Chain A
Amino acid sequence: MTPALLWIPLLPLAAFALLITCGRRLAPPVAGWVAVAALAASAGATLALAEPVLRGQRLAVRWAWLSAGDPRWALGLAVDGLSWLMLAVVTGVGTMIACYSIGYMRGDPRYPRFFAYLALFCASMLGLVLADHFLLLYACWELVGLCSYLLISFWFEKPAAAAAGRKAFITTRIGDAGLLAGILWLAWAGGTLQFDALAGLRETLSHGLLTAISLLIFLGAVGKSAQVPLHVWLPDAMEGPTPVSALIHAATMVAAGIYLVARTLPLFTPESLQVVLAVGLLTHLAAGTVALTMTDIKRVLAYSTISQLGLMMTALGLGAAALAMFHLTTHACFKALLFLGAGSVIHATHEQELGRLGGLRRAMPWTAAVFLIAAVSMSGVFPLSGFWSKDAILLAAQHDGPPWLLGALLAGAVMTTAYVFRLYLRCFHGAPAPHAGHESPLIMVLPMAVLALGAAAVGLAGSPWLAHPLLHLLGLTQIHAGIDVPILLWSTLAAAAGLWLAWSVGVRRARPLPAALRPLGTRLYTWAANKYYVDEWYQRLIIGPYLAAARGLSRFDLRVIDGAVDGAGLAGRALAVWKERFDRLVVDRLVNGTASAVRLAGAGLRWVQTGIVHQYLLVVVVAVVVVSLVLK
């Protein structure tokens, strides 16, 4: 079983290596099929692991990484129920999306590179899920961030896409910094970073320390899973190709945050779980209201993802990791399907503004059908997937949460149904739009059909009808037996209310509010339609001052530092001028003066040297005579 474990992340990685090095030499569809084959093989390897994992076994590979002193650091891959479920989601949904991309990306000039990035994205996500150690998880976590940057700004010729990639990268980096700090603190305080040792740390570390560390780790999840206040990157990430949006929203990027919190849940103290709950609920409701007002198909879906991630975070805040993962699984299916459906619409009509779409049901029957299945599943209508996972969370909220929580989540459910059906009805029903759509090719419809099957039926794995195999897999022992009929009724009521809202307000533009409340409603609508001005506030409070400070520093640099450097240069030059003058006037004159003195002396003395021997001899004789007279 161990080799299969290694193959799961290595196959997409190999596909990435192959495509990035010689992808250009492959014919375009071949490059796509390489990625699909690698992901499908990973999915096969995951399925091969199913049998022992379902029996509750934990498979692991481990190798020594650093053996300097104690503690010895080991890296490894491990599969338990939680990570197996994530593996299944990533490989399954990833394969479908890669398959779909073969059709969607046809004719793109960087076709092989797209699939190379896609494969790397999946490989790093698989590595993240398989890691049994914080360090490997962090490395893969950053790789996921890098791939998201590469893919969101895949069409980097568009300035908006380049900016969106940058924004995603920088925003998630804020969370990553928190995660890194948490990991380092944990290593320093706890001495271990193995995931299987986390439960043991609960006894040894102090309560406050655990709270601080878990909140730092949660900050990483907030960035990656686009929770308030770091959610701003996700809507902008819609600038990337639609399959990338599907991958980010369903399987890879945002799921990482949920997985991280679920994996490290033993570290979370009641206080930090309160924070998780609050952030999750706030995200769920705020993003839901924004999704109601967006008019771009992909942005509606983006905010709906943020909202659903908020729901998962809420479940995590209740301590129900298994339920959050269950919802993540069903969400992966129907959200990937919604995105692929939206991509199909965009592919056919080159239009993503809701106001210019409509009546596509006739032209695109398959897309409309799968979109409807996904929408119904997302609304939580009995007995599709979304119902089981959402109702499990509602049930947990009723039992473990404060009394108002159930009401808040039901309000969120109303909004969920409302925005998704508003999207569906305005896209596929009503008066046909000027853009005559056409059905997408089989290569795009087939993955959608498979995902539709998942969106409809995956939830059954966590339903009481099949005795909750999925929840057992995730280690949940106390399960509410049977279907809770009041909750079922409540959620159905919420879905019906949402549907009515979508129909009356979203499509027919009715005004349900009494006239007295209308100004307030308009104001709320304006707020939501402008995303609560979060981007504007960031611009004003953080980015603006930051840029101003940078500009100030640049000016300081230009004036003071450059001035000092230039001044030093000028002073050096002035000094050199003076030195040159000194050299010329003093040193040169001294040297030349010596030479001229010698020349002058020579000129004066040259008459002595006549060259006539007799005169020399005469001098000698006279000198001898004089000397002998003197010495006498």
Chain B
Amino acid sequence: MSVRLILLLSHALFALGVYGVLTRRHAIGLLLSIELILNAAALNFVLFSRAFGHVEAQAFALFIIALAACEAVVGLAIVIGLARHAHTVFADQVDLLKG
């Protein structure tokens, strides 16, 4: 597998994540899309670590996995709070911050 191919894969993942974030209405779908974006970044770190022989970048990948886990916890908590208070899990139905 060449570097170019894997780079293409990570870009595709990122693009998919951005598309999902912009189009998904369901809050959990949003969280999943963010997960995709984060993993695209992690894949890039691992790829460039292999390609240029830097070990530090792999540490960043580990950080990103931990971060993603935390993010999922907080995000899911928010989703549950949303479901309890607003009785919905659709992001576009909640516009308390409308000016």
Interface residues of A (CB under 8 A from B): 602, 605-614, 617-618, 621
Contact = CB atoms under 8 A, between A and B. Distances in A.
Contacts of A613: 30, 91-92, 94
B96 interface: yes
B97 interface: yes
Contacts of A609: 97-99
A193 B55 CA distance: 116
A627 to B, nearest CB: 15
A602 B99 CA distance: 9
A612 B95 contact: yes
Contacts of B94: 611, 613
Nearest to B95: A611
21 contacts: A605-B99, A607-B99, A608-B99, A609-B98, A609-B99, A610-B95, A610-B98, A610-B99, A611-B94, A611-B97, A611-B98, A611-B99, A612-B92, A612-B95, A612-B98, A613-B91, A613-B92, A614-B21, A614-B22, A614-B92, A617-B21
B7 interface: no
Interface string B66-99: 0000000000000000000000000110111111
B37 to A, nearest CB: 11
Q: Which 6 A-B pairs have the closest CB atoms?
A: A609-B99, A611-B95, A611-B98, A606-B99, A611-B97, A613-B91
Interface residues of B, number: 14
Contacts of B25: 614
A434 B14 CA distance: 143
Contacts of B18: 621
A210 B92 CA distance: 117
Contacts, number: 36
A608 B94 CA distance: 16
Contacts of B98: 609-612
Given A612-B92, A613-B92, A618 B97 contact: no
B99 A621 contact: no
Given A607-B99, A611-B96, A621-B18, 19 more contacts: A602-B99, A606-B99, A608-B99, A609-B97, A609-B98, A609-B99, A610-B99, A611-B94, A611-B97, A611-B99, A612-B92, A612-B98, A613-B91, A613-B94, A614-B23, A614-B25, A614-B91, A617-B21, A617-B22
Nearest to A606: B99
A260 to B, nearest CB: 101
Nearest to B92: A612
A608 B21 CA distance: 20
A610 B95 CA distance: 7
A607 B23 CA distance: 21
A608 B97 CA distance: 11
Contacts of A617: 21-22
Nearest to B18: A621
Nearest to B21: A617
Contact of B22 (A602, A605, A610, A621): A621
A621 B37 CA distance: 13
Contacts of B91: 612-614
A265 B22 CA distance: 126
A613 B22 CA distance: 9
Contacts of A608: 99
A617 B34 CA distance: 12
Interface in B34-70: none
A618 B23 CA distance: 10
A612 B92 CA distance: 5
A605 B92 CA distance: 21
A605 B98 CA distance: 11
Nearest to A621: B18
A628 to B, nearest CB: 13
A316 B97 CA distance: 114
B21 to A, nearest CB: 6
Contacts of A614: 21-23, 25, 91-92
B57 to A, nearest CB: 21
Contacts of B97: 609, 611
Contacts of A621: 18, 22
B22 A618 contact: yes
A617 B33 CA distance: 12
Contacts of B23: 614
Nearest to A618: B22
A625 to B, nearest CB: 10
A621 B22 CA distance: 9
Nearest to A615: B92
Contacts of B99: 602, 605-611
A617 B23 CA distance: 10
A610 B22 CA distance: 15
Contacts of B95: 610-612
The listed residue with most B CB atoms (<10 A of its CB), out of A607, A609, A614, is A614
